[in-house]
Amino acid sequence: MVYHESKEFNGKVLTFTRYGEWTDICCLFFHGFLASSDFLPPDADKEGSCVLSFDRPGVGMSDLIGEYEMEDFFSLIKDVLKEHGVSGLHLFGHSAGGFYAQVFAEQNKGMTRSLTLLSSLPPLNCSETEHLMTRDLLKRRFFITKCRPIARLYFLTTAYVVNKKIDKILDGRIAQMAAFEQSIYKANKEIYKDAILMSITKRAKGAYLDAISLFAKREHPHIDPLIPVYVWNGDKDETTTVEFAQYLARTYNAKEIHIVPGGTHMMFFAVWHDAAAEATGTGE
């Protein structure tokens, strides 16, 4: 079962999606940039653990709270976890959500049972990863940190274009995917579509504030070496390259790294069940 829920705090609402019934050890998924909490397979809990996915502030139906740091978002999540007796987490993060997951794992090592990075970004404003930054990431960081009015205009424009041309945009993206990804996305196109549209509600201000949080100056996370780390990336991913995946695997001494032939940046949806089974120990 898929449940859409919310938590009120100081007159504001944080929304999240829950897959399956509450368990004491859950899977916590951090969605990517320009995505939202519903961007998982409808049977995401098939491996037996409850799966939770939270909309970041201003995304989906979550209220805007102004500029925020990752820790502010984590505090709200932990209030929900405490309320439902969750004592342990298998962390998953896709793309920008992978960076959130890395920081969460560092700050909550007592709760973290594993960390799975799915086509994950490394830290985006940190001296240790400066050599990894692509031209596109450097450009985005410059506008977010130095030219915010232009960045805000970019997000407003993006919201307008996406709302007008969403089907054409999705068809183009799916056409570029490997066959194994295409079949999954064609069958779940409405989930893909809704995830993107929900990411740009409120004239994309939530996405803009998410970008500010992501590009804030931050030291590299240091994750407890006892936490098993799993890295997944497609070899055709042009957003988070194989070099990113190899760097993260080395840095966190990953237990496994999977470089999937033909996989693109949206591969996580197609490999979710394999990744979840690996992390939770429910695979064959």
- How do residues 159-213 score in pLDDT, each as one tens digit? 999 999 999 999 999 999 999 999 999 999 999 999 999 999 999 999 999 999 9
pLDDT value for 28: 98
Which residues, at least 6 apart from 11, have a Cβ–Cβ distance to it below 8 Å? Answer: none
pLDDT value for 259: 98
Query: Which portions of the chain are predicted below pLDDT 70?
Result: 283-284
Long-range pairs for 80-85: beta carbons < 8 A, 24 or more residues apart = 80/7, 80/14, 80/16, 80/52, 80/54, 81/26, 81/52, 81/111, 83/7, 84/22, 85/22, 85/24
Q: Are 215 and 204 in contact (CB under 8 A)?
A: no
Residue 231 CA to residue 248 CA, distance in Å, equals: 8
pTM here is 0.97
pLDDT value for 235: 97
Structure tokens at 170: 């999705």
Residue 160, φ and ψ in degrees, nearest 5: -65, -50
SS3 track for the chain: CEEEEEEEECCEEEEEEEECCCCCEEEEEECCCCCCCCCCCCCCCCCCCCEEEECCCCCCCCCCCCCCCHHHHHHHHHHHHHHCCCCEEEEEEECHHHHHHHHHHHHCCCCEEEEEEECCCCCCCCHHHHHHCCHHHHHHHHHHHHCHHHHHHHHHHHHHHHHHHHHHHHHHHHHCCCHHHHHHHHHCHHHHHHHHHHHCCHHHHHHHHHHHHHCCCCCCCCCCCCCCEEEEEECCCCCCCHHHHHHHHHHCCCCEEEEECCCCCCCHHHHHHHHHHHHHCCCC
Structure tokens at 42: 């409808």
Residue 72 CA to residue 240 CA, distance in Å, equals: 26
Beta bridge partners of 187: none
Pick the CATH number of 2-280 from 3.40.50.1820, 3.40.50.720, 3.40.50.10130, 3.30.70.20: 3.40.50.1820
- The domain locations on the chain are 2-280
pLDDT value for 166: 97
pLDDT value for 183: 95
